[in-house]
Amino acid sequence: MGVRRKSGGFVLKVNPILCDGYGHCAELAPDLVRTDEWGYPIVVAVPVPLSNLGALASARYAVRGCPRKAMHIERVADES
Amino acid sequence: MLAITTPYLWYTSRATGMVAMILFTLVVTLGTFVANRIGGTIVGRFEINELHRSLSIVAIVFLGLHILTTVVDSYVSTGLISAFIPMTSSYKRVPVALGAVAFDLILAVWVSSLLKLRIKNQTWRFIHWFSWLGVTTSLVHGFLTGSDARHGFGLILVGLCTLAVVSAALWRFLGRPARAAGRTALSPLAAAPAPRLNPKLTPSGPRRPGVPTSSGPFPRNPRPPQSKARR
């Protein structure tokens, strides 16, 4: 078990130039990504708290599973 | 250099070579599945991709065993150098050279995939195309070198693997996703049908100057140029 962060969040980001609409991210992180009608991802833009370990794990799976390596996780600090 | 000779090394070399051939055929076929975007209903697309990645590691392990046992066995004079550099083996010079070429190509594909995060995507894709060449070369190598590949079960196996690779290649070529047609997320209008340019079919009514019409000389929604990359 790692250190559990109590503050901060993350956003799953997609590089639209690299993306080819394989749709693997929507399968791996269904809570964070849905696809538009052409199969391209629409990612939740609101930061998810880092304490949500399940969401973080699925985001990491989406990053790892992308055939075009078009995704990355961006950390954001709390505003307060 | 370690030099042992026992029939068991030869047996292991034959068996692992056969298994590696089957595994690499599977890996290439699964890669075609991924590229042609199969899955998403019964089996997830990401699952096919994961299987493709994991099986490739297993295949490389079997390939390593195949090469190791061949090199260690001193019954035939195939050294470590001839595993990498073609035409250096005095035993079956050309068939073993094909195996070396296939090994080098597979190594290139593997290393480029390990470095996938560090190299450009186009570079990775370019190198990944060579897996077709690698699997073809290895099938020819298996047919020419294999002690079991000329008759019976081995011949059937080589035939089946060749059939799988050839049909996967055909399917990859024919069933490639139509991305170049302009159906991208950024140009949704491109999905609209292209305007008819046949002059016989265009209505030639009175036209006010300056007002563009759909039947004018320039199509209102031109089809984007076909890009060279097919996807």
As a whole number of angstroms, the distance between CA B79 and CA B96 comes to: 11
Q: pLDDT tens digits, residue range A2-45? A: 666 567 899 999 999 888 889 899 999 999 999 888 888 999 99
Burial of residue B114 (CB within 10 Å: 0-12, 13-18, 19+) is exposed
Q: Please name each of the domains of chain A with its CATH number.
A: 9-76 (3.30.70.20)
Contacting B residues, span 48-87, partner chain A, CB-CB under 8 Å: 49-50
Q: pLDDT tens digits, residue range B190-221? A: 444 444 555 554 454 445 555 444 444 444 44
A68 and B121 within 8 Å at the Cβ level: the answer is yes
Q: pLDDT tens digits, residue range B160-187? A: 999 999 999 999 998 876 554 444 444 4
As a whole number of angstroms, the distance between CA B89 and CA B81 comes to: 8
Q: How many CB atoms lie within 10 A of CB A18?
A: 14
DSSP, collapsed to helix, strand or coil, labels residue A23 as coil
pTM above 0.80, yes or no: no
Residue of B nearest to A25 (CA): B46
- Partners of A63 on chain B (C-beta within 8 Å) are none
B40 and A18 within 8 Å at the Cβ level: the answer is no
Residue of A nearest to B231 (CA): A20
Residue A65 pLDDT class (50, 70, 90 cuts): very high
Closest CB to B34 among A18, A67, A69: A67
Closest CB to B46 among A18, A19, A65: A65
Whether chain A has a CB inside 8 Å of the CB on B34: the answer is: yes
As a whole number of angstroms, the distance between CA B136 and CA B179 comes to: 27
Bridge partners, B73 (sequence order): B4
As a whole number of angstroms, the distance between CA B58 and CA B106 comes to: 13
Closest CB to A27 among B34, B46, B188: B46
Residue B108 pLDDT class (50, 70, 90 cuts): very high
A38 and B183 within 8 Å at the Cβ level: the answer is yes
Mean pLDDT calculated for residue range B101-108: 97
As a whole number of angstroms, the distance between CA B83 and CA B97 comes to: 8
DSSP element (H, E) containing A12: strand A9-14
Say what the pLDDT of residue B129 is: 95
As a whole number of angstroms, the distance between CA B213 and CA B219 comes to: 9
Say what the pLDDT of residue B73 is: 87
For chain B, domain boundaries: 7-174
Say what the pLDDT of residue A6 is: 66
